[in-house]
Structure 1
Amino acid sequence: MKRAVLYLFILSLLFNVFQYMNSTKILKTQSKEIESAKAKTKMVRDSSNIVYNQMLDANYFSLEMDDESMNYFENYSIPELTEKMKNELLTLNEKPNGNPLIPYDPIGGNKFIINKIKLLNHRWIIADFYSGKIRGEILIKYFVNENKPTDFETIETILHSNTAPVQ
Structure 2
Amino acid sequence: MKKSLMLYLFLLAILMNIFTYMFYSREVKFEKERYDKTTKRLRDSISTVSTKLAESNYFSLENNENAQNYFDNSASGGKVILFEKLIPVVTEKLLDLNANPNGNPYTGQDKIGPNKFIINKVKILNHRWIIADYSNGELWGEVLLKYFVDDKENITFEVNQTWLYQK
* TM bracket (short chain): 0.7 to 0.9
Determine what percentage of the aligned residue pairs are the same residue.
40
Find 2:144's aligned residue among 139, 144, 148: 139
Equivalent pairs, count:
150
Q: So what's the TM-score if we normalise by structure 1?
A: 0.78
| Inter-CA distance 17–86: structure 2 relative to 1 (3 Å threshold) | same
Q: Where do residues 55-134 of structure 1 align in structure 2 (5 Å cutoff)?
A: 55-74=53-72, 75-134=80-139
2: CA distance, partners of 1:27 / 1:156:
67
Query: Where in structure 2 are there 5+ consecutive unaligned residues?
Result: 1-9, 73-79
Structure 1 pair 148–24 and aligned structure 2 pair: CA distance change class (3 A): same
Tell me how far apart the structure 1 counterparts of residues 88 and 106 of structure 2 sit (CA, whole Å): 18
Quick one: distance in 2 between partners of 1:47 and 1:108?
A: 47
Which ranges in structure 1 are unaligned for 5 or more consecutive residues? 1-10, 163-167
Report the CA distance between 1:149 and its aligned residue: 2.7
RMSD: 2.3
**Partner SS, residue 119 of structure 2:** strand
Structure 2: which amino acid aligns with 1:149?
Answer: N
Q: Give the AA of the match of 1:135.
A: W
The structure-2 alpha-carbon separation of the partners of 1:126 and 1:56, relative to structure 1 and needing over 3 Å to count, comes to same
